[in-house]
Amino acid sequence: MPEETFHAVQADASVAGASVTGASEAGASAINASVAGVSVPDASVDVVVVGGGPVGMLLAVELALRGIRPVVLERLSTPSGESKAGTLHARTAQTLNRRGLLDAVGRSSYGSVRFHFSGMFELDLGTVAGEGPTLVGSPQARAEQVFTDRATELGAEIRRGHEVAGLAQDAGRVTLTVDGPAGPYELTARYVVGADGARSAVRRLAGIPFTGTGPASRP
Ligand SMILES: Cc1cc2nc3c(=O)[nH]c(=O)nc-3n(C[C@H](O)[C@H](O)[C@H](O)COP(=O)(O)OP(=O)(O)OC[C@H]3O[C@@H](n4cnc5c(N)ncnc54)[C@H](O)[C@@H]3O)c2cc1C
């Protein structure tokens, strides 16, 4: 991580290969565009990840593997247990396999598998499975727990019941206003990553433009 810059960025599952892979690919590399890079003298935390869903937790794993001890702020005090996603595609499976997490997240299918993606049906996903399984049946809540356990094991600090309500950037750092269980507090960091879902508060607060169609369903 460069000494002299910070960025407020957004990890966007749709950019990260959302579909079936949104959760897993973002952690490795697919953080959305940076907003600002300015000089950083000092800050209390290197990286704060806002949002402890699958994207945020897997990103925490990746950061910890690179020797950075991120703080993850998750507004829910306990995981919802809900699984929007249930299937991971080949590229995600490959990525998780390389991290030793594949077997833990679900059951793999190999070879020619007909499935759908983005409204396209009867796709043979076997044609893109260059390494490892074609498809993995994996309830999102389970994958999220696996990533959380691994991030914790590697030293990431997970703060549950902490909701980000404000974000300000100055020449030296990003300052977050957080509503925690003991009341509001401020946390400064060199980098802040928004992994806080489709209605991302970080995206809004950092002024990151959103050009797609927002979610229409419940929050
Ligand atoms: C019906 C449906 C089916 C799907 N099926 C699949 C599938 O089969 N395979 C697949 O890969 N994907 C699927 N997806 C997409 C997948 O669910 C998303 O890509 C995934 O949830 C994105 O993960 P995320 O961590 O970015 O966001 P989320 O899962 O939305 O997590 C964001 C987290 O941020 C927290 N948060 C929000 N705001 C704040 C804040 N201000 N401060 C602190 N924390 C905050 C939230 O509490 C939440 O825990 C499906 C989605 C839907 C709706």
- Tell me phi and psi for residue 175, to 5 degrees: -115, 125
Q: Confidence class of residue 206 from pLDDT cuts 50, 70 and 90?
A: very high
Q: Are residues 117 and 131 in the same domain?
A: yes
Ligand 1: distance of its center to the CA of 83 in Å? 9
Range of the domain at 74: 1-82+139-212
Which amino acid, one-letter code, is at 88? L
**What span, in angstroms and rounded, lies between the C-alpha atoms of 205 and 167?**
6
Closest CA to 74 of 51, 49, 53: 51
| Ligand 1 proximity of 163 Cβ (cutoff 6 Å) | yes
Instruction: Find the helix or strand (DSSP H, E) in which 77 lies.
Output: none
Q: Quick one: pLDDT at residue 148?
A: 98
Name the domain count of the chain.
2
Q: State which ligand 1 atom lies nearest to the alpha carbon of 200.
A: 38
Q: What percent of the chain has pLDDT over 90?
A: 67
Closest CA to 139 of 23, 11, 16: 23
Pocket test for ligand 1, best of 88, 136, 196, 217 (most atoms within 8 A of CB): 196
Q: Quick one: pLDDT at residue 129?
A: 84
Nearest CA to ligand 1 atom 39: 196
| Ligand 1 proximity of 199 Cβ (cutoff 6 Å) | no
**Which CATH number belongs to the domain containing residue 11 in this structure?**
3.50.50.60
Indicate if the pLDDT at residue 34 is higher than 50.
no
Q: What percent of the chain has pLDDT over 70?
A: 79
Q: Which two tokens stand for residue 219?
A: 């929050």
| Ligand 1 proximity of 201 Cβ (cutoff 6 Å) | yes
Q: Are strands 183-194 and 45-50 parallel, antiparallel or unpaired?
A: parallel
Q: Are residues 70 and 159 in the same domain?
A: yes
The pLDDT mean for the chain works out to: 82
Q: Are residues 144 and 133 in the same domain?
A: no
Identify whether the C-beta of residue 187 lies closer than 8 Å to the C-beta of residue 48: yes
pTM of the model: 0.84
**What span, in angstroms and rounded, lies between the C-alpha atoms of 178 and 187?**
7
182 dihedral zone (left: phi>0; alpha: psi -120 to 50; beta): alpha
Domain final residue pick, 138, 153, 178: 138
Beta-bridge partner residues of 157? 71
Ligand 1: distance of its center to the CA of 185 in Å? 25
Q: Quick one: pLDDT at residue 98?
A: 93
Q: Are residues 148 and 204 in the same domain?
A: yes
